[in-house]
Structure 1
């Protein structure tokens, strides 16, 4: 059983996220309303990653290694592909502004590192 199975993670702290969102071109209202709870589920080869915030709830469904069309929280259309490297779920978003999101799971927390150009943000979530 993977360390993330059966767990939800609530955002505890965030570093440089506003700068990351600015680099993406996200407006201030959306930048200030994102304090989410996240959950990763697996069913066979299918995964779903759900983000729940006061603004919106979104679910991304994917299979590892398969590129798919994704609409980000702010409405941008990108191509994404997820890979799993041990306890790290790596997401590559391709579009006007390519971004890499690395989510590293432990029994007690999820550390998400978001990188776009030279802007890097780290968000720490605690298991709830």
Structure 2
């Protein structure tokens, strides 16, 4: 099921991302850069079930490697240190980040050839849409 996410995805739209970053506590300067950045998302999986997700842009590249349902330490693009777990729920990759008593989720799903990433922090929702590169 994870195979459908594998590949290189280029971001084409980003809605409400500034509000989402504010809800996370990201500072003004970092939000300005984050709002201008259109990262590519590169998803790969090896034979042992290890998944890697790399967010690559001219500003910053971050990468996480994980197995489904196993908690790991993540340092996010905005430098939060989180305990993160990624699960597969209803054909969505759900990434849950926990830090300082807070929690955010990023739900990724592939629909109509697009990868939709829904970022949720409390009642704030941002949606980022990616298309697969040929």
What TM-score does the superposition give when structure 1 sets the normalisation length?
A: 0.91
Question: Structure 1 unaligned runs (5+)?
Answer: none
Question: Structure 2 unaligned runs (5+)?
Answer: none
- Structure 2 partner of 1:125: 130
Is 1:3 aligned to 2:4, yes or no?
A: yes
- Structure 2 partner of 1:84: 88
Alignment of 1:71-110 (within 5 A): 71-96=75-100, 97-106=102-111, 108-110=113-115
- Structure 2 partner of 1:38: 41
SS of 1:98's equivalent?
A: strand
SS of 1:40's equivalent?
A: strand
Is 1:28 aligned to 2:32, yes or no?
A: no
Tell me the CA shift for residue 107 of structure 1. 6.3
What TM-score does the superposition give when structure 2 sets the normalisation length?
A: 0.87
Match of 1:59 among 52, 56, 63: 63
Runs of 4+ in structure 1 off by over 3 angstroms are none
Count of equivalent residues: 127
- Deviating more after overlay: 27-36 vs 108-117: 27-36
